[in-house]
Structure 1
Amino acid sequence: MKMPAKPNERQYRSLSVPLVARAEPDDVSAEKRIDSEFYVEGYASTFNDPYVLFEDYDGFEYTEVISPDAFRDADMSDVIMQFDHTGKVFARISNGTLIVEPDEHGLFIAADLSRSQAARDLYEEIQSGLITRMSWAFTVAADEYDRETHTTTITRVKKVFDVSAVSLPADPNTEISARNLLDGEIEQSRKELARRNRALAIARATLAIAKSRKV
């Protein structure tokens, strides 16, 4: 079923896929996309790879998956790279220091972190393993929700605002924005669970009465 997308609500997601710094390519088939001594690359998102957004009070896990076609019409005209989605801009598409593009695996990013001292400092932190993960900020154009599996599929991304190196693997905004996106569906799932529990209780009571009469 289709859910009403909230195109003006900015969403945040972070993955366990590492952000890495490479001085030289690991092999000849892995050329750097930007010629820089301060080069980093990684994936902000992966396709067809369900991840848990959050678990509600009833123990249900709500998952999300990104469709390979999600970025087909997305506005990625001037994405910037930040740290924790705030503050300084370390790289951006418009000046050629940032690449953000979908490939067969997901939303690939590559950045040249040489244009400022702050950017070079971030490169050193990534290279030393202090910063290891990425997050991205976006708005949704279209999505679908499967009530049986509690899975949202993002079928269209409207706009990508930034890709950020993050201090923690899980962005605290992820659960908040996901809950807002699924607010009506969570309530519907709870009502459906209550209905099923009532039906099960009635069936058990009916069975118990029938057994007692036979005795």
Structure 2
Amino acid sequence: MTKKEIRTLSLSEVQFRNSDKQDFIGVIAGYAVVFEKASQNLGGFVEYIRPTAFDDVDMTDVVALYDHDFGNVLGRTSAETLKLNIDNQGLYFELSIPDTTVGRDVYTNIRAGNLQGMSFGFTVVQDDWQSGTDGVAIRQVETIGELYEVSVVAMPAYQDTTVEATRALQNSTHKQKMLMLLDMYEKENQR
């Protein structure tokens, strides 16, 4: 039996957008997994995810959670509220945040900088272990079996992860709207 594992990633930037749908308060986007970046020490080992690790992973029903709690669902790929895409950096996500108590709390805490990381729950089919020079083992995750969930978290394991903020701003009308909203947000915070 393959054991389910959980990893967390740091968000250095988070993208916010207003949602066109009434049941959603906004959209966040970033990287839930990054390739070839070292994790924090995970209890005697440091981990890297290979770019080919997700090659055969079925992502048709992955859930987005707050803090790995299945009672705090934020989105789901099968509901098209969570979108996942593999690129050369890692596993990119876009999540429409629902207008729920948990959704509003998570969205507010991300904007405030209180929640700064992403995490993921998965199983490993193939990995490679090596001895590190400092006595800390190095684990290379070669193949992931299942991706169960991605989570917004407070304490990420991958501190060097960055979030790409330009993808949603490619549409100039949308970009103007975002800049206007950010300007309004900054003015309110200066009061």
- Normalising by structure 1, we get a TM-score of 0.62
Does the aligned pair in 1 maintain the 2:40–2:157 contact within 8 Å? no
Query: What does the per-residue CA deviation read over 1:26-65, in whole Å, with 9 as the maximum and x for residues that have no partner?
Result: xxxxxx9x98750101111111122343454xxxxx2211
**Equivalents in 2 of 1:128, 1:148: separation in Å?**
37
Higher strand share: 2
Higher helix share: 1
Does the aligned pair in 1 maintain the 2:2–2:123 contact within 8 Å? yes
- Residue matched to 1:20: 14
Alpha-carbon distance, 1:12 to partner: 0.9
Q: Which amino acid aligns with 2:78?
A: S
- Residue matched to 2:141: 154
Provide structure 2 residue ranges, at least 5 long, that are not aligned to the other structure. 159-191
State the structure with bigger RCO (CA 8 A, min sep 6), 1 or 2.
2
Alpha-carbon distance, 1:75 to partner: 2.4
Provide structure 1 residue ranges, at least 5 long, that are not aligned to the other structure. 1-6, 25-31, 57-61, 172-215
SS in structure 2 of the partner of residue 160 of structure 1: strand
- Residue matched to 1:144: 128
Task: Assess, with a 3 A threshold, how the Cα gap between structure 1 residues 76 and 117 changes in structure 2: closer, same or farther.
Answer: same
Q: Which has the larger radius of gyration?
A: 1
Task: Assess, with a 3 A threshold, how the Cα gap between structure 1 residues 54 and 131 changes in structure 2: closer, same or farther.
Answer: closer
- Residue matched to 1:75: 58
Does the aligned pair in 2 maintain the 1:38–1:120 contact within 8 Å? no
Identity of aligned residues (%): 30
Alignment partner of 1:134 out of 103, 109, 118 = 118
- Residue matched to 1:196: none
- CA RMSD for the aligned pairs? 2.6
- Normalising by structure 2, we get a TM-score of 0.69
Alpha-carbon distance, 1:165 to partner: 0.8
Across the two proteins, how many residue pairs are aligned to each other? Answer: 152
Task: Assess, with a 3 A threshold, how the Cα gap between structure 1 residues 12 and 94 changes in structure 2: closer, same or farther.
Answer: same
